[in-house]
Amino acid sequence: MATIRGGSRHGVVLEDGSLHCEYYDSRRCGSCTIIETPYHQQVAHKRARVAALLEPLAPDLRWLPGVESRPTAFRTKAKMVVAGTVDAPTIGILDAHGEGQDLRECPLYPPALAAAFPHLAAFVTRARLEPYSVPHRRGELKHVLVTLAPDGDLMVRWVLRSTEALSRIRKHLPWLVAQLPQLSVASVNVQSEHKAILEGERETVLTDRDTLTMTVNGFDLHVRPQSFFQTNTDVAASLYRQAAAWIDEAAPAHLWDLYCGVGGFALHTAASGRPVTGVEASAQAVASARRTRDDRLAAGDTAMEHVSFVTDDAVAWAVRQADAAQAVVVNPPRRGLGEELSRWLDGSGASTVIYSSCNPDTLARDVAWMPSFVAREARLFDMFPHTTHGEVAVVLARH
C-alpha cells in the first residue's frame, strides 16, 4: 500500500491501483463513483464505452494510447460548498439532507490547494460570513471556488447570496493575503437564487490582478474569474499537444476554433502565415485569449500575427459564414454541437474536424449528423479519475 501523492491521511492508493478514501468508505462523499475500480481499468472502461458508441459510425477508427492522470492530487480547481455555522464552517459538499460534509483533506486536491482550505475556513469566521443553509433558505455564503496555477498562485472566489458581506470581505482580505501570500486573484460572485446553480453573472474583483496565469506547454493562458478552464491542467496540456500534432499533420491553410474559451486550442495550433479564428460566447474568455496572443506577439512570436478572437455564439457565428475553414476544432459543452452546426459543418468546405468532447453520447450523435466525415483517429484524455467522465478527442476527415 503506497501513500498518495500529497500525503493526505484520507486516501491511499492500493497495490491494485484502486484508491482507498476515508470520505468514500464512511459514506460522507460518493462523488467518485468508480473509486473502487483499479485505475487502469477505469481508463480502459471509459475508452471501451466511447468506442462502442462510435464503432457503428467508424469501424476502422484507430485509438491512440489513452492519456492517464495521476490518480490523486490532480484537481487544480475546487468547487466547494460552504455550510455549517460562522464559527464552525464546513467546506466540501452537502449531504442528502442539505447539511455540510467537510472535505478539506480530499485526496483529489494537490497539497498547495488543500493547504488553502483551513485559512479560507478561518476567513469565514473572521469576516462573519454566514454560510447559506439550503434547508432553511437563509445565510449569505454559498460556495468558495479555488483555482491553483502551475506556479502555485491561487484564485479565490466567494459566491454570495447578495453583496451584504462585500465590505467585510474587503476589510479582512489583507489578513487572508498575509496567511496565503500566493493568493493573486480574489473576487465575489453574486448568486441570489435558491437553485442548484454554482454562480451568478455578477462578479466583483477585489485584487489588483484580475487574471490567474495558467502556464500550459509554455503558453501563459490568462484565466479570469468566470472563464472556463479544465480542472486537470496536466491532462489538458496533453490534449492541446495532441490537437496541435493533428493540425500539423493536416496542414490547413486556415483554422477555426469554435467554443475556444481562453484560446487553448487556437494558440497551440497557430502557425506562421496560418489565419486562426477563435469563437467564444464569453467576453471575459475572449479578452483573456487576446491578452495571451498580444503577449506572445510582443515577445516576437510571429505565429500570432494572424490569430483573432470573436465574441459570439459559436453556432450563430459559424452558420453566418460563407464557408468553413479547412480545419475546424470544436470543444463544445456537454450538450454537444447540436444538429444545426453538425449538419452545417457536414455541408461545408472543411476537410478536417477535431472534436474534443466531454460527453460520448452527444459526440456520437453529432458524428452521425456528419456523414460526409469519418472518424479516423481518437484518444481518451482522462480528466476525471474515479468517475465515469472523460474527455475524448477525435479526428474527423472527409471520405
The tens digit of pLDDT for each residue in 319-341 reads 999 999 999 999 999 999 999 99
Tell the residue number behind the cell numbers 500500500, with chain if given.
Answer: 1
Alpha carbon distance 59, 36 (integer Å): 32
Among 297, 276, 278, which residue's Cα sits nearest to residue 287? 278
| Cα–Cα dist 279/309, whole Å | 6
- The CA-to-CA distance between both ends of the chain, in Å, stands at 50
pLDDT higher than threshold 70 for residue 7: no
Structural domains of the chain sorted by starting position, each given as residue range(s) with its CATH number in brackets: 2-36 (no CATH), 41-70+228-398 (3.40.50.150), 77-210 (2.40.50.1070)
Residue type, 216: V
Query: Mean pLDDT for the chain?
Result: 94
Distance CA 230, CA 190 (A): 23
CA 366 to chain centre: 22
Indicate whether this model's pTM tops 0.85: yes
pLDDT digits (tens, 9 = 90+) for 245-274: 999 999 999 999 999 999 999 999 999 999
Percent of residues, the chain, with pLDDT higher than 90: 93
What value, to the nearest 5°, has the Cα angle with vertex 291 and ends 352 and 110?
A: 85
Phi, psi of 285 (to 5 degrees): -65, -40
Between 322 and 5, residue with greater pLDDT: 322
**Candidates 21, 106, 260, 358; catalytic one:** 358
Q: At what angle are helices 117-126 and 166-179 packed, to 10 degrees?
A: 140
- Grade residue 285 by pLDDT with cuts at 50, 70 and 90: very high
Helix (H) or strand (E) holding 392: strand 391-398
User: Whole-angstrom Cα distance, residue 124 to residue 270?
Assistant: 44
pLDDT band (50, 70, 90) for residue 196:
confident
Q: Do 223 and 147 contact (CB within 8 A), yes or no? A: yes
Please give the Cα distance from 258 to 265 (Å, whole number): 9
17 Cβ contact partners less than 8 Å away, ≥ 6 residues apart: 38, 39, 40, 41, 71
Q: Is 358 a catalytic residue?
A: yes
